[in-house]
Amino acid sequence: MSKVLLQVEDLRTFFFTRKGMVKAVDGISFHVDEGETFGLIGESACGKTVTALSIMRLLPEPAGQVVDGKIILDGVNLVELDKKEMRKYRGKVISMILQDPMTSLNPVFTVGDQIAEAVRLHQGLRDEQVTEEVISALKLLQIPAPEMRLRDYPFQLSGGMRQRVVGAIAMSCHPRLLIADEPTTALDATIQAQYIALFKDVQEKTNVSIIFITHDFGVVANMCHRVAVMYAGKILETATTREIFKEPKHPYTNALMQSVPRLDQKGGRLYSIKGQPPSLRDLPPGCRFFPRCPIAEDICQQQEPAEVEVTKGHFVSCWRVQ
């Protein structure tokens, strides 16, 4: 039985804008165990990144606020921490990788400096020790000739290499939770596979828990132990990867999987889900997926479905699956 590392309960994050209140994340709950990779999958703007930022407490203020819910890491509710305390967690206990490797590194500092900065911040070490740590971080991400890379500037490295450096920065202080926000989306397909293998290797060596945000089921299949499907600020289905591929219960999950073109099925039109996700500013009362759902019924329009545990560990929010 794995221990639970992170527990998110009924998280709500809203954005207060000139044109109204945007309910980016509206009551989601999930947990991540130690050493496991938890996938968060969904279309663009479904709230995946906002969830990540909420956990990190890096929402753009004053517009974005966590208005409700708990984020419990090792018994501590992160929402209740003040800025100074939260900073101690960042980089050291929780870390994050952003999507675009081309812009994630500061162009005017060397690779070595940027990693060393993180190390120096969280661990009071002497200079030689710092360099050792930096090199071991680079080695962990399997960057060749790490001693040579120390003095390189970001622009001298390829996209894939830069993403590894970002990974090295993230892992340099041995965090317990790593949030990866679509880290492979901006990479070539061939590099993607390498990168995923790299992640797995890192996880094996360090037992870090990973929240892997993506919109690609292929990556999920490869990488994640468990996965949650997000839509319009809510989690519609949560299960182990196996379960979700074998028996997807929510119509949205189904539709998503069908949209992925498959090599073993030739011909026919590509399937796509009709319609658009709802505006997060004025949400209708019922299930968010209602307008696009092929099996919707009246009650779906009137009330939001409650979450039900269909089989062990498999949760679904859908009136039709009850």
Partner 1 sequence: MARFIILRLLFTFVALIGIVIIVFFLVRASGDPLSLLSSPNMTEEQYDAINERLGLDKSWGEQFIIYMGDLAQGDLGESLFRERPVIDMIMESLPNTLKLIVPSFIIAILLSLFLGVIAAAYRDSFWDNGVKFIAVLGQALPGFWVAIMAVLIFSVYLRWLPVQGMATPANYVLPVTTMVFFILPGMMRLVRSSMLDVLDSEYIKMARIKGLPERLVIWKHALRNALITPLTVAGLIFAMLITGAVITEQVFNWPGIGRLLLETTFARDFPVVQAITIITAVFVLGINLLVDISYAYIDPQIRYQKS
Partner 2 sequence: MLSIIPRIDEKPEKRYTGGLSRRTRITRKLTLIIPATILILMVIIAIFADLAWLGLPDVGLAPHDPDSGEITDRFLPPAFMEGGKTDYLLGTDRLGRDVLSRVIHGARISLSISMLVIFITAFIGTVLGIISGYLGGRLDGLIMRVTDMALSFPGILLALLLAVSLGPSYWTVVLALSLLGWAGYTRMVRGEALRLRESDFVAQARISGASSWRIMLKHIFPNTINSLIVMMTLSVGMMIIAESTLSYLGVGVTAPTASWGSMVSDGRSYLDTAWWMSFFPGVAIGLVVMSGNFLGDWIRDRLDPRLRQV
Shortest CB 301 distance to partner 1, Å: 39
* Distances 5 to 32, 54, 156, 195 between C-alpha atoms, Å: 6, 16, 38, 24
Q: Computed from CA positions of residues 36, 215, 31, 181, in that sequence, does the dihedral angle turn out positive or negative?
A: positive
Contacting residue, 42, 64, 91, 183, with partner 1 by CB under 8 A: 91
Contact segment (CB under 8 A) with partner 2 among 189-197, 229-237, 272-280, 302-310 equals 302-310
H-only helix segments in the chain? 48-56, 83-89, 101-104, 111-122, 127-140, 146-149, 159-171, 189-206, 217-223, 241-246, 251-259, 298-302
Contacting residue, 129, 259, 302, 311, with partner 2 by CB under 8 A: 302
Contact segment (CB under 8 A) with partner 2 among 47-55, 74-82, 200-208, 295-303 equals 295-303
Which DSSP symbol is given to 40? E
> 10 Å Cβ neighbour count for 3?
8
3-state secondary structure of 274: coil
H or E stretch including 225?
none
Q: Judge contact between 256 and 229, C-beta under 8 A.
A: yes
Shortest CB 14 distance to partner 2, Å: 6
Nearer residue to partner 1 within complex by CB, 33 or 117 = 117
Cα distance between residue 262 and residue 73, in whole Å? 39
User: Of these partners, partner 1, partner 2, none, which one is at the site of residue 306 (CB under 5 to 8 Å by kind)?
Assistant: partner 2
Contact segment (CB under 8 A) with partner 1 among 131-139, 166-174, 219-227, 273-281 equals 166-174
Is residue 65 a contact point for partner 2 (CB under 8 A)?
yes
> 10 Å Cβ neighbour count for 195?
22
Contacting residue, 75, 107, 124, 261, with partner 1 by CB under 8 A: 107
User: One symbol per residue from 48 to 87: x for binding partner 1 (CB under 8 A), - otherwise; what is it?
Assistant: --------x-x----------------------------x
Restricted to residues 1-30, the positions that interact with partner 2 (CB under 8 A) are 14, 16-18, 20-21
Is residue 299 a contact point for partner 2 (CB under 8 A)?
yes
Extract the tokens encoding 187.
């990479």
Restricted to residues 132-161, the positions that interact with partner 1 (CB under 8 A) are 153, 155-156
Q: Cβ contacts of residue 97 below 8 Å, gap of 6+?
A: 104, 163, 166, 167, 170, 178, 179, 180, 181, 183
Nearer residue to partner 2 within complex by CB, 20 or 275 = 20
Q: Give residues in contact with partner 1 (CB under 8 A).
A: 56, 58, 87-92, 95-96, 98, 100, 103-109, 117-118, 121-122, 153, 155-156, 166, 169-170
Q: Give residues in contact with partner 2 (CB under 8 A).
A: 14, 16-18, 20-21, 65, 67-68, 299, 302-303, 306, 319-320, 322
